[in-house]
Amino acid sequence: MAARPIKTVSVVVSAIDEPLPGVKRFVLSDQDHWPLPPFTPGAHIDLHLGGGLVRTYSLCNEPSDRNRYVIAVKHEVAGRGGSAFVHERLDVGASIGVSLPRGGIRTTDTGMNVFIAGGIGVTPFISTIRDLELRGQTNYVLHWSSAGVPSLVDMLGDAIAAGRVRLYDTRVESAPDMDAILNACGENAKAYCCGPMRMLDAFERIVEGWPDARKHIERFAPPKPVEDTDAAPYTVVLARSGKEAIVEPHVGLVGTLEALGADVSVSCGGGVCGACRTTWLEGPPIHRDRVLSPEERAQDVMVCVAGCAGSRLVLDL
């Protein structure tokens, strides 16, 4: 049997600043100053904050910067507790576990890269744009809206000075006209969006007919979960441990896995962050995530929102 992959690495909080009230930026480093695991532009990591609390944040620094991970976190007063923990209890010198970076943004070389961001949703695009700038690629534009002064402009100084970033203060002007922007960007362009749910939903409607290769959506706020109270019970089997149990609709797959003591990290709980990605061996599962491609679904499943189309779901756990 193959060895289990490393799930987390230990880092220390080496610096914290607050570029704007309500937004803190954290620098995470190896305590012995070793390079951290590599990542691609726009990748994200899970912070394991203790007590089962896991939250996902985009990396803001460029991939060539292997000595640190930089994240920015907005304090969401009505959130699920992750940002409050990070803002109120995470201090310089604290040691935490973080997942290996995953995901990322693949830009196009043949056309324009059109980034549309709302507020703190700019974070994955900061990493991507910094990487493009370092590689001398200027085939991009960022449309970035915020209610007032944006929080991380210091990380995009060169891009702003060069006119490749359009800032929108929604207190005094309208948000970006996505219809006009996307309809004018050309057939070889690739469009990306990250921001509030309304912005993401509007973007998704506009690019619905586009090929998948030309659009990219970052969702960290999960949609309302689908409750299928009429679903039939099925058996979930953990192939590595041999444990199994019946998954009842009112408990769900995640609840059953927790009861079995399965080693699965759940962050968003809505199939958008990828933290709970697990290989399935027998099923097939019912996929409800917004992350995996059809090819990836042939072997992996996001268990936080998954069901089963048969009587038995075997997971590589």
The CATH number of the domain holding residue 263 is 3.10.20.30
The CATH number of whichever domain residue 29 belongs to comes to: 2.40.30.10
Residue 255 DSSP one-character state = H
The answer as to whether 105 is a domain residue is: no
Residue 226 lies inside a defined structural domain of this protein = no
Residue range 286-298: mean pLDDT, rounded: 87
The answer to whether position 2 is within a domain reads: no
Asked whether residue 3 is domain-assigned, the answer is no
Same-domain status, 194 and 262: no
Which of 99, 132, 155 terminates a domain? The answer is 99
Q: Is residue 279 part of a domain?
A: yes
Same domain, 120 and 214: yes
Model pTM?
0.81
Residues 63 and 119 in one domain: no
Residues 159 and 64 in one domain: no
Determine the pLDDT at residue 53.
Answer: 84
pLDDT tens digits along 129-160: 999 999 999 999 999 999 998 999 999 999 99
For residues 117 and 87, state if they share a domain: no
At 228 the pLDDT is 66
Please check whether residues 125 and 208 belong to one and the same domain: yes
pLDDT by residue (tens digit) across 22-48? 999 999 999 999 999 999 999 999 999
Number of domains within the chain: 3
Note the helical H segments in 12-162.
Answer: 82-89, 123-134, 157-161
In this structure, is residue 283 part of a structural domain? yes
Of the pLDDT bands very low, low, confident and very high (cuts 50, 70, 90), residue 3 is very low
Q: Do 208 and 239 belong together in one domain?
A: no
Q: Is 106 within a domain?
A: no
* Least confident range of 112-126, 174-188, 217-231: 217-231
Same domain, 201 and 295: no
pLDDT of residue 60: 96
Amino acid 159: pLDDT: 96
Q: Report cis status (omega within 30 of 0) of the bond before 284.
A: yes
Would residue 13 count as lying in a domain? yes
Asked whether the beta carbons of 291 and 70 are under 8 A apart, the reply is: no
- Tell me what the pLDDT averaged over the chain comes to: 90
Tokens 């973080």 map to which residue? 98
- Mean pLDDT lowest among 133-142, 169-178, 290-299: 290-299
Identity of the amino acid at 187? E
For residue 296, count other CB atoms closer than 10 A to its CB.
Answer: 14
Which is higher by pLDDT, 109 or 76?
A: 109
**Which whole number is the average pLDDT over 280-306?**
90
- The answer on 259 and 212 residing in a single domain is no
d(Cα 46, Cα 63) in Å, to the nearest integer? 17
Q: What angle do CA 141, 142, 146 make, to 5 degrees?
A: 160
pLDDT of residue 222: 62
| Predicted local confidence at residue 2, as pLDDT | 41
pLDDT tens, 211-269?
988 999 987 666 666 666 678 899 999 999 999 999 998 889 988 998 998 888 787 77
Quick one: 276 exposed, middle or buried, by C-beta within 10 A (0-12, 13-18, 19+)? buried
What is the Cα–Cα distance from 132 to 79, expressed in whole angstroms? Answer: 33
Residue closest to 63 by CA, chosen among 45, 90, 82, 47: 45
b (16+ CB within 10 A) / e for 246-267: ebeeeebbbebbeebebebbbb
The dihedrals phi and psi of 230, each to the nearest 5 degrees, come to -95, 0
- The residue segments making up the domain with residue 41 are 8-99
Give the residue among 223, 247, 241 at the shortest CA–CA distance from 303: 247
Mean pLDDT of 159-182: 94
Burial 198-223 (b: 16+ CB within 10 A, else e): ebbebbeebbeeeeeebbbbbbbbbb
**Token digits of residue 99:** 């997942």
Residues 164 and 212 in one domain: yes
List pLDDT tens digits, range 74-108. 998 767 778 999 999 999 999 999 999 988 999 99
Domain boundary residue among 170, 191, 218? 218
Residue 76 makes CB contacts below 8 A (sequence gap 6+) with 83, 84
What element of type H or E holds 277?
strand 277-282
Same domain, 67 and 142: no
Model confidence at 176: pLDDT above 70: yes
Grade residue 7 by pLDDT with cuts at 50, 70 and 90: confident
CATH number at 168 reads 3.40.50.80
Among positive and negative, which fits the CA dihedral 179, 181, 182, 187? Answer: positive
Q: Which of 43, 71, 99 is the last residue of a domain?
A: 99
Q: Measured between alpha carbons, how far is 118 from 127 in angstroms, rounded to an integer?
A: 16
Provide the greatest CA pair distance for the chain. Answer: 60
